[in-house]
Amino acid sequence: MKIALVSVPAGELDVDALAVPVATGQRLSGPAVELDRAMGGVLAEMVATAEFRGRIHEVLPVPAQGKIGPRRVILYGLGSLHDLDGQRMRSAHHELVRASRTYGYKRIAVLRTDAVRMDALKAVVEGCVMGTFERRSRQTGPQPERREIDELMLVGFGSGREHELVAARENGEATNRAREWQNAPPNELTPEALAQEAMRIAQRHNLEVEVLGPAELKTGGYNLLIGVASGSAKPPRLIRLRHRGSPSPLSGEGGSVRAADAAGRGAGSPSGAAASSAGGPVLALVGKGITFDSGGISLKDPDRMADMKADMSGAAAVLAAIDVIASRKIPLDVMAVVAACENMPGPAAQRPGDVVVSADGKTVEIVNTDAEGRLVLADALTHALRNGATHILDLATLTGAATVAIGHAATAAVSNDDSFWATVDMASREAGDRVWRLPMYADYRILLRSQIADLRNSQYGEAGCILGGMFIGEFAGGKPWAHLDIAASSWNTNTELTTVLRGPSGAGTRICIELAELMAGAER
């Protein structure tokens, strides 16, 4: 889809449809008033008589009958201006483009009115690009024609903003890549296939890459990851990509790259002291990559088990994000770390009651094998710290309790550092991807205790979303760390929550990109 800023008057555009945003309870404004006058007042009449109410996701095509250049005018809703945040702005434009594709429009334009601020360009473009997403079908028979929009014109957003447009497009496309990975069947997107995706990203940008298999994991003491994977015939992978964006103190240029070996396995790790080549911050984006989660011996309810192909949504977000971070050459050292495996009830599966020694030496009692995400992330955080991470953001479909706590409309979060959290929170606002921080009271810490080990992985009795995050935080090494529980926000299964887009969302992808941008800006 070609996207361009144009200065031609909206009524003169040669397009299939001209989209006009309308907020609930608001009249037509700005250039839409002149457009309506040219059409004989039909648009204002439809708004005044509540034929079109401006509700979020409401889309109504109106024939122009040759009175203006566009063949149709599309009224599309933003909902209440009071409720219009970045997430809803993107969602409204996602639905606009999805509907336009359904109608078969090839060339559309979006007209900025007073309801859409000038600084909303990023949200508009990202939302429109996200609206091009369509789940890939594996059906073998004749397929319905996939309708695409060839050209999108943006009217009234000014000129000279092409760099913003390009960046927003990259963010939207990265979100869609994460959504496609989320939707991939688990027999296709195995731990090894996820590692291959990472290798392709590394090769595309000449990144440092490391993929550890079972032998290397055993040598490194990554027993929590090994334990979760032990019930599966698919071997685990611990994946690390590194973008060295800080200037080298010797060369003054971007950090050097260590390419992968032929198999991408067992490449030597820098020591924990090898942080940024310039001594600056090193951001680790850590993703849970459970490519299928049966629950292990603590077997899940079979009614919803097919949804567990998306238990690698955290991994999808961080891989899609570092692809953009490296492409954009953001001047910050950033690594993506993914703990990838299946959680299956095979003959060698770990048992409730087992005690396992983590990579950082803490002992963990396995109370519930279905609380596996925090286990693999614990070892993944240790791997990030061993490779010089100074700040850590982990993303995981971690707990059903996140759905209970705040539902599908936002991501639940915890953090051990107010300053770092403020940056993560700002990144979420820039990304239009809501997060809500929950408290980590000291009183909760006693609930993590085991009578026979340093920690237990489940059955805390209350505050399950918080304690799942607190468990991971025990392995952050005292570094600034934040945890995003995207269990609900990464995929909306609630058919009644119609103002939140259904299906995979790519939650966290744009947050990771914006966080890297903000941290890089702070270092300049």
Domain covering 171-523 assigned CATH 3.40.630.10 in the classification: yes
Parse the chain into domains and list their residue ranges.
2-137+147-155, 171-523
Instruction: Tell me which fold the domain 2-137+147-155 belongs to.
Output: Leucine Aminopeptidase, subunit E; domain 1 (3.40.220)
> d(Cα 106, Cα 104) in Å, to the nearest integer?
6
Q: For residue 40, what pLDDT band results from cuts at 50, 70 and 90?
A: very high
* Equal fold, 2-137+147-155 vs 171-523: no
Q: Quick one: average pLDDT of 21-44?
A: 96
Tell me which of 258 and 224 has the higher pLDDT.
224
> d(Cα 9, Cα 31) in Å, to the nearest integer?
9
Q: Quick one: average pLDDT of 182-201?
A: 98
**pLDDT at residue 172 above 70?**
yes
Instruction: Count Cβ atoms within 10 A of the Cβ of residue 361 and give its class: 0-12 exposed, 13-18 middle, 19 or more buried.
Output: exposed
Nearest CA to 474 among 337, 315, 361?
Answer: 361
Collect all residues with Cβ–Cβ distance below 8 Å to 219 and sequence separation of at least 6.
none
pLDDT of residue 264: 42
Q: For residue 255, what pLDDT band results from cuts at 50, 70 and 90?
A: very low
Q: For residue 141, what pLDDT band results from cuts at 50, 70 and 90?
A: confident
Average pLDDT, the chain: 93
Q: What is the pLDDT of residues 431-471, one digit of tens each?
A: 999 999 999 999 999 999 999 999 999 999 999 999 999 99
- Catalytic positions are 300, 374
Collect all residues with Cβ–Cβ distance below 8 Å to 131 and sequence separation of at least 6.
93, 94, 95, 96, 97, 98, 100, 101
Q: Quick one: average pLDDT of 94-116?
A: 97
Q: What is the pLDDT of residues 227-241, one digit of tens each?
A: 999 999 999 999 999
pLDDT of residue 145: 75
pLDDT of residue 279: 82
pLDDT of residue 522: 85
Question: Residue 293, Cα to own-chain centre: how many angstroms?
Answer: 19
Instruction: Report, in angstroms and rounded to the nearest whole number, the Rg of the chain calculated over CA atoms.
Output: 24
Q: What is the pLDDT of residues 67-88, one digit of tens each?
A: 999 999 999 999 999 999 999 9
The CA-CA-CA angle for residues 471, 472, 474, to 5°, reads 70
> d(Cα 181, Cα 159) in Å, to the nearest integer?
35
Return the amino acid letter for 446.
Answer: I
- Cα 180 to Cα 127, 306, 313, 487, 496: the distances in Å are 16, 16, 10, 17, 24
